[in-house]
Amino acid sequence: MKHLLYIPAILLLLAACVPVIEDAFDASASERTAARQRELKATLTAAPNGWLVDYYPDKNAALGGYAMHIVFAADGQATVACEQETNLPAGDPFTSNYDILADQSVTLSFNTYNPVMHFFSEPAGSSDVDGLAGDYEFIHVETVDDRVEFIGKKWKQRVVMRRCAPTFDFDAYVASVNNMVETLSGYGMFALQTGANILGTATVVDRSFNLTYTSTSGQDATEVSVKLPYLITADGIRLNKPFVLEGNTIENFLWDEAAKQYTCADPGTNISAVPYFPPDYELQYEEILGRWAFQCTGYTGGVTYRDTVVFALKKKNASFTLTFPGLFPIVALDVSFNAAKGTIAIANQVILTTVDGNHLRLSLYNYTANSSYPAAGSYGLKGVWNHDEGGVRRMTLDNDGRQAATGIYGFLLRAYLPNTTTAATADTHPGITSGNYLGNTADYGTTNYRFYSCVLTKLND
């Protein structure tokens, strides 16, 4: 019986003779994570002039990118500004808290409300439950020299921070970005080309290139469409990640003011993004500015109406104001400009509020049905340049191919019941009175102002 006791005892002895296993790491997992947290905080706070941050909201970066400037203080506060207007004007900084957490990995979290940072993440209500779908928690990926890379925790967009030089001034940077935004806004399309060889064309939409090119990488050439989100820098644009276009890896473009084009700054490429006007391009913004002879039929009971109208700058490369001096000097329509196509468009709009609270509205008019479309909707009149006038710039107002469906090819000016808060006084808007119609019936008859078949001819001032 006693022998039986030896068996478990010896087994226990053997079991006790476990070879010593060396730890793979000198410290525990949590200690190593804590060390990385301290290291990241030391890195971020060791940039007294802050970091310039490439930030992309939305899981598909559909809105393009924005540059932020963040200064991290050792006491857990971060001062954040953005080159784009957020809840604060562009460039205005706001200080709130940050922390570096041990989460999925080492995570930088902006954990109290910052009207700049959280502008991109706060929900806009039940109609828009995730707002702009931007992150405010960022998983640390790597630190290389003066560059720290993160990935957004929820929406997975890459965030790159670059250490700012001691001389960096964010206000000046914002001004430079604004200049670049204005430069870029003048062009709706670019051709990506090597020398004179066009590899593809890209439409500019919301800080993205919608690039179409013919890929020759497979056995058969195939047409490829791809969206390349970018952010606007002080001297050009930067894609949100490198893209390989026919063997050329492109990411950074610099604006060449003399050549009026972007040049790819990445090594080993000689790609340029050259403003591109397709064969059916209509008119550039500057070509539309100024006075035009306006003529339409059907005006107030069928007579022809003529006026000299004026397209004036509202927002460069984006919109005009359009006035009819002969009719109402005070009435200015909003006219949008499509830089990609070189066209203007006029949509339903409230123009002003009348003395007694009614408001004057431009409504698209369905001549066939003799009815108007007071709702804003998607209807619009597009200006189409007649290319065959031998140097004469002439536009007709058309409903952009929707005429057959809607019958729209004109508009009317009409006063409606109040639903705006824009105030008007008799002093500022003489001649505009009440009723369901525009104007004083004694002066203008009993109908609305109807404008059909409108033609505009540019006056050479």
Q: If you search the block for the tokens 């409504």, which residue do you land on?
A: 363
Is 118 a residue that touches another protein (CB under 8 A)? Answer: yes
255-266: b (≥16 Cβ within 10 Å) or e = beeeeebbbbee
Closer to another protein by Cβ: residue 59 or 291: 59
CB atoms within 10 A of CB 80: 27
- The string of DSSP codes covering 149-191 is EEEETTT--EEEEEEPPTT--HHHHHHHHHHHHHHHHT-SEEE
Which one of 1, 4, 17, 405 is in contact with another protein (CB under 8 A)? 17
Span from 96-104, 174-182, 194-202, 427-435 in contact with another protein (CB under 8 A): 96-104
CB of 126 to another protein, least distance (A): 5
Is 12 a residue that touches another protein (CB under 8 A)? Answer: yes
CB of 107 to another protein, least distance (A): 8
Contacts (CB under 8 A) with another protein, residues 61-80: 75-76
Is 30 a residue that touches another protein (CB under 8 A)? Answer: yes
Which one of 97, 210, 248, 420 is in contact with another protein (CB under 8 A)? 97
Closer to another protein by Cβ: residue 99 or 266: 99
Is 103 a residue that touches another protein (CB under 8 A)? Answer: yes
Closer to another protein by Cβ: residue 107 or 208: 107
Which one of 43, 49, 62, 131 is in contact with another protein (CB under 8 A)? 131
How do 290-299 and 66-72 pair as beta strands? Answer: unpaired
Which one of 111, 176, 178, 420 is in contact with another protein (CB under 8 A)? 111
- Quick check: helix, strand or coil at residue 287? helix
**Vertex 342: Cα angle to 339 and 346 (nearest 5):** 90
CB of 12 to another protein, least distance (A): 6
Span from 31-39, 142-150, 203-211, 267-275 in contact with another protein (CB under 8 A): 31-39
What's the Cα-to-Cα distance from 186 to each of 199, 221, 282, rounded to whole Å?
22, 32, 14
| Tokens (6 digits) for 258 | 């003399």
Is 392 a residue that touches another protein (CB under 8 A)? Answer: no
Helix (H) or strand (E) holding 39: helix 29-45
Q: If you search the block for the tokens 């909707």, which residue do you land on?
A: 377
- Quick check: helix, strand or coil at residue 285? helix
User: Which segments of 183-318 are extended strands (E)?
Assistant: 189-194, 197-204, 208-215, 222-232, 236-245, 248-256, 261-264, 271-275, 290-299, 303-315
Is 13 a residue that touches another protein (CB under 8 A)? Answer: yes
CB of 83 to another protein, least distance (A): 21
Which one of 21, 126, 196, 370 is in contact with another protein (CB under 8 A)? 126
CB of 34 to another protein, least distance (A): 4
CB of 198 to another protein, least distance (A): 41
Let me know if 410 is exposed, middle or buried by CB neighbors in 10 A (0-12, 13-18, 19+).
Answer: buried
What's the Cα-to-Cα distance from 319 to each of 237, 280, 353, 358, 459, rounded to whole Å?
23, 20, 21, 26, 20
CB of 22 to another protein, least distance (A): 15
Total of chain residues touching another protein, rule CB under 8 A: 44
Tell me which DSSP letter residue 128 carries.
B
Is 113 a residue that touches another protein (CB under 8 A)? Answer: yes
Q: If you search the block for the tokens 């009348």, which residue do you land on?
A: 354
Is 31 a residue that touches another protein (CB under 8 A)? Answer: yes
Span from 120-128, 231-239, 349-357, 398-406 in contact with another protein (CB under 8 A): 120-128
Closer to another protein by Cβ: residue 2 or 144: 2
Closer to another protein by Cβ: residue 101 or 318: 101
Start-to-end Cα distance in the chain: 122
What's the Cα-to-Cα distance from 101 to each of 36, 40, 155, rounded to whole Å?
10, 10, 18
Alpha helices in 374-417 (DSSP H): 403-406
CA dihedral 259, 282, 412, 459 (to 10 degrees): 80
CB of 37 to another protein, least distance (A): 8
CB of 378 to another protein, least distance (A): 23
CB of 113 to another protein, least distance (A): 4
List of residues 6+ apart from 376 with CB closer than 8 A:
347, 348, 349
Span from 4-12, 276-284, 305-313, 361-369 in contact with another protein (CB under 8 A): 4-12
Which one of 43, 45, 59, 153 is in contact with another protein (CB under 8 A)? 153
User: Which residues lie near another protein (CB under 8 A)?
Assistant: 2, 5-6, 9-10, 12-13, 16-17, 28, 30-31, 34, 37-38, 41, 75-76, 97, 99, 101, 103, 107, 109-114, 118, 121-123, 125-127, 129-131, 133, 136-137, 153-154
